[in-house]
């Protein structure tokens, strides 16, 4: 392991000034190997070589990835060590939608975890903090400066997590590394060194492992003359029926806020019929290159005509990005919040034949009906870091209600 760490440092450099320099001379002599590990490594690498959809957008040299990571993977002395090596290979794609399904403890979490940071002028600054997370409980706020993660200065921590096999510099890879550094490692607590509000002295902020309180897949409430519906996941079959019940209970409201913040995604089979409740004819809501478009599923006999706002944040991921995109594409909602996670494709699953290790990868890029990539989706009303997204959403909804009232034909 010590040799491996040394090699990683050689290919990394001490600072991010050279983080994304092209990687040269990475051929390695392969060790004596277990044929099953060899076959599974090749199966994963070849599958992504043929089917991964974002090589055109990435700076990753996939052939260099094989040359660098294959010897390390084949030298693994346990299944966990082999899985960790595969995780490092997938990390080369700096894609939070492409990863092992159950990575071993101690391997890097894929970002963003509960903090979103940006690097500017040699400062790593918090942009967003996930609600109800360990970071939020510790008092971290947008604007805080992160000086070190788990005892490593941020430059070194991020450099240790930068992809090794880049053909050119890519700021997206840099951003992934900064955010991976503050995300920490699976199954382990974190310790951040933080400076807040221009204070002279930084403070150590321990972030223990914590389990978040379970949240129902759907809940709803009235706020005066409007309704709010919270969808925490698109992954449960009963969500559609519960959504219908919420609509029935809120049918006399003048507008709806649908909240998909902190929603990690789920299944299009759940999101499509929910979108279908807001239209009275079949319409496209997205474009997918391999599928060449998709329509909406079963119709609801009573469609909702009231104005709708969809709330999102940096932890709205995958289908929770596709849902607001689709609602806007249908002309049925305005999006309010912050930029989302930027997961721009439908994923395919893979189970390696010999070891049984499972992973997922970005396979089908998704665009809106105007052919704009989902990973570049921005809210219609962008809320500044740390501001109240719900309040902004309600304000926008009431604006839409007022506009609808002005546009309504007057009775004689």
pTM above the 0.85 mark?
no
Range of the domain at 226: 218-342+377-407
The per-residue pLDDT for 33 is: 53
Residue count (the chain): 412
In a domain, 131, yes or no: no
The per-residue pLDDT for 15 is: 36
CA angle at residue 19 from 26 to 134, to 5 degrees? 115
Contact of 198 with 125, CB cutoff 8 Å: no
In a domain, 403, yes or no: yes
The per-residue pLDDT for 285 is: 54
The per-residue pLDDT for 336 is: 99
Helix (H, G, I), strand (E, B) or coil at 373: strand
pLDDT one digit per residue (tens) for the chain, 412 residues = 333 332 332 233 333 434 444 443 444 455 455 678 999 999 999 999 999 999 999 999 999 999 999 999 999 999 999 999 999 999 999 999 999 999 999 999 999 999 999 999 899 999 999 999 999 999 999 999 999 999 999 999 999 999 999 999 999 999 999 999 999 999 999 999 999 987 788 999 999 998 888 899 999 999 999 999 999 999 999 999 999 999 999 999 999 999 999 999 999 999 999 999 998 766 655 555 543 444 444 444 456 889 999 999 999 999 999 999 999 999 999 999 999 999 999 999 999 999 999 999 999 999 888 888 999 999 999 999 889 999 999 999 999 999 998 887 766 5
Contact of 354 with 39, CB cutoff 8 Å: yes
Nearest Cα to 118, choosing from 161, 170, 178? 178
Nearest Cα to 316, choosing from 327, 308, 306, 305? 327
Cα Dmax for the chain: 88
What is the 8-class DSSP label of residue 30?
Answer: P
- pLDDT 10s digits, 344-400: 999 999 999 999 999 999 999 998 888 889 999 999 999 998 899 999 999 999 999
- pLDDT 10s digits, 330-358: 999 999 999 999 999 999 999 999 999 99
As a 3-state breakdown, the chain gives helix, strand, coil percent values, each rounded to 5, of: 30, 20, 45
Structure token digits, residue 256: 């709806």
Contact of 183 with 27, CB cutoff 8 Å: no
Q: How far apart are CA 329 and CA 332, in angstroms?
A: 8
The H-or-E segment that residue 231 falls in is strand 226-231
In a domain, 10, yes or no: no
The H-or-E segment that residue 269 falls in is helix 268-276
In a domain, 256, yes or no: yes
Q: How many CB atoms lie within 10 A of CB 333?
A: 25
CB within 8 Å of 280: residues ≥ 6 apart: 299, 303
Question: b/e for 342-363, b at 16 or more Cβ within 10 A?
Answer: bbbbbbbebebeebebebebbb
In a domain, 145, yes or no: no
The per-residue pLDDT for 287 is: 55
Q: For the chain, what is the domain count?
A: 1
CB within 8 Å of 4: residues ≥ 6 apart: 72
In a domain, 255, yes or no: yes
259: domain CATH number?
3.90.226.10
């Amino acid at each position: 392991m010590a040799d491996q760490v040394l090699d990683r440092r050689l290919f990394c450099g001490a600072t991010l000034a050279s983080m994304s320099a092209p990687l040269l001379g990475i051929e390695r002599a392969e060790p004596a190997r277990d044929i099953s590990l060899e076959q599974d490594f090749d199966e994963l690498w070849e599958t992504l070589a043929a089917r991964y959809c974002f090589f055109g957008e990435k700076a990753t040299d996939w052939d260099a990835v094989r040359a660098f990571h294959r010897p390390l993977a084949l030298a693994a002395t346990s299944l966990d060590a082999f899985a960790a090596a595969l995780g490092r290979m997938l990390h080369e794609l700096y894609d939070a939608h492409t990863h092992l399904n159950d990575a071993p403890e101690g391997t890097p979490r894929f970002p963003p975890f509960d903090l979103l940071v940006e690097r500017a002028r040699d400062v790593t600054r918090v942009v967003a903090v996930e609600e109800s997370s360990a970071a939020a409980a510790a008092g971290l706020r947008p604007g805080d400066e992160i000086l070190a993660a788990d005892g490593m200065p941020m430059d070194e921590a991020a450099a240790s997590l930068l992809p090794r096999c880049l053909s050119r510099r890519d700021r997206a890879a840099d951003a992934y590394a900064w955010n991976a550094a503050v995300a920490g490692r699976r199954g382990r607590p974190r310790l951040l060194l933080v400076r807040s509000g221009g204070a002279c002295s930084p403070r150590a902020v321990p972030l223990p492992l914590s389990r978040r309180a379970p949240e129902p897949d759907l809940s709803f409430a009235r706020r005066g003359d409007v309704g709010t519906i919270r969808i925490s996941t698109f992954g449960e079959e009963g969500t559609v029926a519960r959504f219908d019940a919420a609509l029935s209970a809120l049918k006399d409201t003048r507008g709806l806020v649908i909240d998909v913040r902190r929603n990690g995604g789920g299944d299009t089979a759940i999101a499509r019929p929910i979108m279908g409740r807001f239209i009275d004819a079949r319409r496209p809501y997205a474009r997918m290159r391999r599928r060449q478009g998709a329509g909406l599923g079963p119709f609801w006999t009573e469609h909702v005509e009231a104005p709708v706002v969809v709330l999102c944040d940096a932890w709205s991921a995958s289908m929770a990005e596709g849902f607001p995109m689709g609602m806007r594409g249908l002309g049925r909602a305005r999006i309010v919040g912050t930029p989302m996670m930027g997961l721009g494709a439908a994923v395919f699953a893979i189970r390696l034949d010999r070891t049984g290790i499972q992973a997922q990868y970005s396979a089908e890029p998704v665009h809106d009906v105007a052919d704009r990539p989902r990973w570049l989706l921005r809210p219609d009303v962008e809320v500044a870091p740390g501001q109240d997204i719900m309040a902004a959403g309600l304000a926008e909804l009431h604006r839409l209600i007022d506009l609808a009232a002005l546009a309504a034909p007057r009775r004689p």
